[in-house]
Amino acid sequence: MKFWQFLPFTEVDQLVGVAQFAEEVGFHGALLGDHAFFPEKLASRYPYSPDGRPGFGAGTAWPDPWVAIAAMAAVTARLRFGTGVYILPLRNPFEVAKSIATAAVLSGNRVALGAGAGWMREEYDRFGVDFATRGRRYDEMIPVLRSLWRGGMVEHHGEFFDFDRLEVEPAPGEPIPIYIGGNSRPALRRAARLGDGWISAGSAPAEIPEVMETLRALRREAGRERLPFETIVSVAAAPDTDLYRRIEDEGVTAVLHWPFPYWLGPSTSLEQKRAGLEKYAEQFIVPLS
């Protein structure tokens, strides 16, 4: 079993230190969140809470994930980094390809793109991107990015992106994994058809066997069942060694540990985070490694 630390809501000036500690105690990787901004007036419904309200608001810091990843990669040697999730169809594919490829080269190919469609219409409106077509843009961006990351001259002629031969350099030294985030049926289908893996948005233990079987069935339908595939699951239950063993048997390859405020409380010091990571590693990472 692999373990990833989820880093949203971490104090930005502590990210570098947290990455060092996570590597020291045995985490496989760390994931950052993504929002471009938070509007003063939010009308969009958050899909992962009963009342439709997000558990964050104005004043919550959302650092640029690729800038943060570059900084954290510079002080680590083995820890992998990714996004959980990056709002992919909101962005320009050339800017995305350039940022992530650069981070991959500088980190020694230790990055993955965890992508999502996003739920906040206000972000799309301010960026001038059609919210209603974000799913189709998303599906087209994935092969566009893979093409741009191969290096050399490439071209693409699609519904949303149309360009003649060009190249984006630097190109990564190896393929950048793309993990699809979200618990909806469209997210699972996209993961099975186009992804190198899946990131859950929080799954109760009782739900996990069905989700794993659904992913297997969808991957068989897509003819991709023999390809490598990561399943990174945020378990909506208290950490438990026996539980982690059971979900590993069901096909889960990695556990996504909760953000620090969820288990240590708000506004903790770097030393408190270090102690918490050490304790978690001793209780769960070491026994399951």
CA distance linking residue 4 with residue 27, whole number of Å = 6
CB neighbours of residue 124 within 10 Å: 21
Q: Which two tokens stand for residue 10?
A: 């971490």
DSSP annotation of 48: T
pLDDT 10s per residue in the chain (289 long)?
A: 999 999 999 999 999 999 999 999 999 999 999 999 999 999 999 998 999 999 999 999 999 999 999 999 999 999 999 999 999 999 999 999 999 999 999 999 999 999 999 999 999 999 999 999 999 999 999 999 999 999 999 999 999 999 999 999 999 999 999 999 999 999 999 999 999 999 999 999 999 999 999 999 999 999 999 999 999 999 999 999 999 999 999 999 999 999 999 999 999 999 999 999 999 999 999 999 8
3-state secondary structure at position 268: coil
Element (H, E) at 215: helix 208-221
What DSSP state is assigned to residue 285?
I
Q: Residue ranges of the domains in the chain?
A: 2-288
Q: Which CATH superfamily is domain 2-288 in?
A: Luciferase-like domain (3.20.20.30)
Question: 56: which DSSP letter?
Answer: -
Nearest-angstrom CA–CA distance, 135 and 129? 12
Task: Decide: pTM greater than 0.75.
Answer: yes
DSSP 3-state helix, strand, coil percentages of the chain (rounded to 5)? 45, 15, 40
Residue partners of 266: CB distance under 8 A and separation at least 6:
none
**How many Å apart are CA 225 and CA 245, to the nearest integer?**
23
